[in-house]
Structure 1
Amino acid sequence: MRAVQITRFGGPEVLEVVDIAEPEAGAGQTLYDVSTAGINYADTHQIENSYLAAQQLPLVPGAEFVGTPVGGGRRVVGLLDGGGYAEKAVAHDFLTWPVPDGVSDEQALAVVLQGATAWHLLRTSAHLAEGESVVVIAGAGGVGSLAVQLAKRWGAGRIIATASSPEKRALTEELGADATVDPALADDDPKQFTGALREANGGKPVDIVLEMTGGNVFAGSLSALAPFGRLVTYGMAARQETKAVPPGALMQRSRAVIGFWLAHCMARPQLLDAAMGELLPMVADGSLRPIVGGRYPLSNVRDAHQDLLARRTTGKLVLDPAR
């Protein structure tokens, strides 16, 4: 079968389309024909071996797919330990969910990892209460665009989104953000970014920040928190070391810093079932709008990663294994 494989760590240049043997399903697993594979920002870390878990070579990237069982059956969307960038993939049965009629492959992929992340960031980690202000870093991205909508749906007070271009900032407002901030303000001085977030919140500190960049954006976001505010960190897009947070800095305003990684939910399938059981019906009835950012042929996987790293994309990116 055709698949994307890496045999050395690095950037998009290490992604190679090759022919390899089909994977074999074990107990409690099913082999699927992949119709569409999802791309996530974490994949760019995975191929560098710079993410949270060490990777082993050779490696077929890809943590999500939509497909049908080999030999026939219902279309499902699923999460994987790896191997999604391929014509066939093996998934654990407890990590797949039927895709409702009327929901496209791209829409299903937008919610299975990024949507479930947004759901848990707000519900499980931040414990969003009605009326609280929410800052969504990278509000036009795969997680951010869904988090803005979910925060609005669940009664957030003022929603502030950051995005790197006027077009992306306009999109976040269309999705429900009340104000926007350019994250480039954090490049030189995190205090400037803190001031912009507070200004966007009517001059007041904010209650919740969903943060996936690190570096100055993390520092500026933490300083913007109100007493009892929560910063939930779920990414390291800036690839910058973030300084340790002294306990005193948290105690001074009763602030909290919470880490989240969706991989831990895979050991508790009920957490994923709760998210997917709500998200997929919302997409089906039109109350949640996944933003589809582009469909790339498998043969153009390098272009997809380059576009993602260069911030040229919006919403969910996917691969077509048939091309």
Structure 2
Amino acid sequence: MRAIQITEFGGPEVLVPAELPDPEPGPDGILVEVSRAGINYADTHQAENSYLAPSSLPMVPGAEIAGRAPDGRRVVAIVGGGGYAERAAAMPGTTFDIPDGVSDEAALALVVQGATAWVLLRRSVRMDPGESVVVHAAAGGVGTLAVQLARAFGAGRVIAVAGGQAKRDLALDLGADAVVDSAAPDMTEALVAANGGRRVDAVLDMVGGRVTDESVRALAPFGRLAFYGMASREDPEPVRLPNLMRFSTTVAGMWLPHAWTLPGDVVGQAMAELFAMVADGRLRPVVGGTYPLSEARRAHEDLRSRGTVGKLTLDPSV
């Protein structure tokens, strides 16, 4: 089968097309004919071995696939790796049937990034109706969905942060009440101004560096910031616990794999609600582009340059 293989860690240049044997599913697994493979920002970290879970070589990257199960069902799945290929092994517990009316690309937008946005809002910051919510990287895969979900869940004011006027216009079109330039020299001041002079209640942050530091300082009493990525590849300042007490604020971390350990099938709940919202038009996944499998390197280059919007996918047939 055609696949993308990494044999040394590094930047996008390490993503190399290769011919490999079909993967062998485990005892309960299935072999999926992949129609589209999802691209996540986490994939860029995995390629350079800077992700939360260490990588080993050689590897086929890719944690999400959509395609056909052996019995013909359209499915979307989270996989432990191997997604950038014509075929991939999946497990039933992390595989979902794609409903009629939901495209493969839309399903891929939901299975990691949609579930991430849902968990961030429902569990990490526990957004209450009427609260103000800041969404950093609002034109990205998680951000475009988080803006819409915050609005659907009853946010009083959704503030989208993005670079470039086209991205900010997209966020407004998706339901944001206000937009902030991601290059604002003082993010604290910019967020407070966008919230009408008041500090904000909840922040979803995957940027890191000074953006995280200044967003923490923009929190209102009992405000919460959920940190789920570090696109800048710059560490924020260490959080001082006395300051959390002094300002009655919370800083939380979120990594989606932990959501699978929660009782009550939290990810299954998220996917059911997200599928229903897409099917009836309340949620619009933004598909930013589909690249040939052979051009995975270019996809990573575009993603790391922050020049993309929405969900990116690979087409294994070309």
Unaligned runs of 5+ in 1: 187-191
What is the distance in 2 between the residues matched to 1:76 and 1:267?
A: 22
- Which deviations, in whole Å up to 9, do the C-alpha atoms of 1:162-199 show, x marking residues without a partner? 0000000000011111111111124xxxxx11000000
Aligned to 1:33: 33
Q: Paired residues, what number?
A: 317
- Which deviations, in whole Å up to 9, do the C-alpha atoms of 1:188-223 show, x marking residues without a partner? xxxx11000000000000000000010000001000
Among residues 267, 278, 282, which one is paired with 1:272 in the alignment? 267
Q: Is the 8 A contact 1:79 1:96 kept in 2?
A: yes
- Which deviations, in whole Å up to 9, do the C-alpha atoms of 1:115-155 show, x marking residues without a partner? 00000000011111010000000111100110000010111
- Which deviations, in whole Å up to 9, do the C-alpha atoms of 1:237-294 show, x marking residues without a partner? 0001222111111111110000000011233481110100100111111110000000
Aligned to 2:302: 307
The residue type paired with residue 237 of structure 2 is: K
The reply to whether residue 18 of structure 1 matches residue 13 of structure 2 is no
Q: TM-score, normalised on structure 1?
A: 0.97
Q: TM-score, normalised on structure 2?
A: 0.98
Aligned to 1:189: none
Please give the residue correspondences for 1:311-322 in structure 2 after superposition, counting only pairs within 5 Å. Answer: 311-322=306-317
Match of 1:194, SS state, is helix
The residue type paired with residue 196 of structure 2 is: G
Unaligned runs of 5+ in 2: none
Aligned to 1:51: 51
What is the distance in 1 between the residues matched to 2:80 and 2:24?
A: 14
278-287 vs 8-17, which deviates more? 278-287
- Which deviations, in whole Å up to 9, do the C-alpha atoms of 1:67-101 show, x marking residues without a partner? 1123x421001101111000000111010111111
The reply to whether residue 199 of structure 1 matches residue 193 of structure 2 is yes
What is the distance in 2 between the residues matched to 1:173 and 1:253?
A: 31
The reply to whether residue 245 of structure 1 matches residue 239 of structure 2 is yes
The residue type paired with residue 307 of structure 2 is: R
Match of 1:279, SS state, is helix
Q: Is the 8 A contact 1:95 1:266 kept in 2?
A: no
The residue type paired with residue 172 of structure 1 is: A
What is the distance in 1 between the residues matched to 2:126 and 2:306?
A: 30
What is the distance in 2 between the residues matched to 1:266 and 1:96?
A: 12
Aligned to 2:103: 104
Among residues 268, 289, 292, which one is paired with 2:287 in the alignment? 292
Residue 102 of structure 1: CA displacement? 1.6
Match of 2:36, SS state, is strand
What is the distance in 1 between the residues matched to 2:130 and 2:277?
A: 22
Among residues 276, 282, 288, which one is paired with 1:281 in the alignment? 276
The reply to whether residue 224 of structure 1 matches residue 218 of structure 2 is yes
Aligned to 1:152: 151
What is the distance in 2 between the residues matched to 1:261 and 1:6?
A: 24
The residue type paired with residue 73 of structure 2 is: R
What is the distance in 2 between the residues matched to 1:109 and 1:232?
A: 23
What is the distance in 1 between the residues matched to 2:259 and 2:120?
A: 12
Match of 1:202, SS state, is coil
Aligned residues: percent identity? 58
What is the distance in 1 between the residues matched to 2:81 and 2:145?
A: 24
Please give the residue correspondences for 1:75-114 in structure 2 after superposition, counting only pairs within 5 Å. Answer: 75-114=74-113
The reply to whether residue 255 of structure 1 matches residue 254 of structure 2 is no
